[in-house]
Homo-oligomer: A and B are copies of this chain.
């Protein structure tokens, strides 16, 4: 692409660094900004810079937060004996939306993935083991996605905390509510039969 303006070219190049945004999309977005009031671009730039410079990660759970200790960790009504291990803030938001979990979270910041060059030491695993060591934790719930990387990460952490004799669980795999049985893949269906639950407990939610 040949641009008639260096300023436009720079803006397009920077925008197209973002994942899933190519040069054409970047140009469309940048031209949209030019048609909008200047204040809107200022607000966007400011918001991005403020976020990037001032955002903190909770010192306990590693979730994104504006303060040292995030709202969830600071809430005395939450059960600090149960810790749900998740990949990132989006999973915390998704689980919080269900209102079905009253414990604390531990955000790993990713999954073990040798193919992407992410090993256990790139993740926030040591502080989790420390928490378990300290003796306040009664149960660890693994809530990583059910992929090769997720399962590897679960297993790695499990091995580290095994000796401390606490309960560990993973979120249930099974058929989504509303899904047709016949279109479900066989691994999920097989697991959902092996891990069947008492009928009365299925009436709860």
Chain A residues proximal to chain B, CB less than 8 Å: 1-8, 10-11, 13-15, 17-21, 25, 27-34, 38, 40-55, 63-66, 70-72, 88-90, 92-93, 96-97
* Contact (Cβ within 8 A) A11 B42: no
Number of copies: 2
By secondary structure, the A interface counts as helix
Expressed in whole angstroms, the Cα–Cα distance for A54 and B46 within the complex equals: 17
Picked from B10, B11, B47, the residue with its CB within 8 Å of the CB of A10 is: B47
Expressed in whole angstroms, the Cα–Cα distance for A28 and B20 within the complex equals: 10
* Contact (Cβ within 8 A) B52 A92: no
Contact A5/B52 with A32-B18, A90-B31 known, Cβ cut-off 8 Å: no
A and B contact pairs by CB, cutoff 8 A, 28 listed: A2-B96, A4-B64, A4-B72, A5-B55, A7-B51, A7-B54, A7-B55, A8-B89, A10-B47, A11-B48, A13-B47, A14-B43, A14-B44, A15-B48, A17-B40, A17-B44, A19-B29, A30-B48, A30-B51, A31-B88, A31-B89, A33-B48, A33-B52, A34-B55, A41-B48, A41-B49, A42-B52, A44-B48
A132 to chain B: closest CB distance in Å? 23
Expressed in whole angstroms, the Cα–Cα distance for A50 and B1 within the complex equals: 20
Picked from B4, B21, B48, the residue with its CB within 8 Å of the CB of A89 is: B4
Write the chain B residue with the least CB distance to A10.
B47
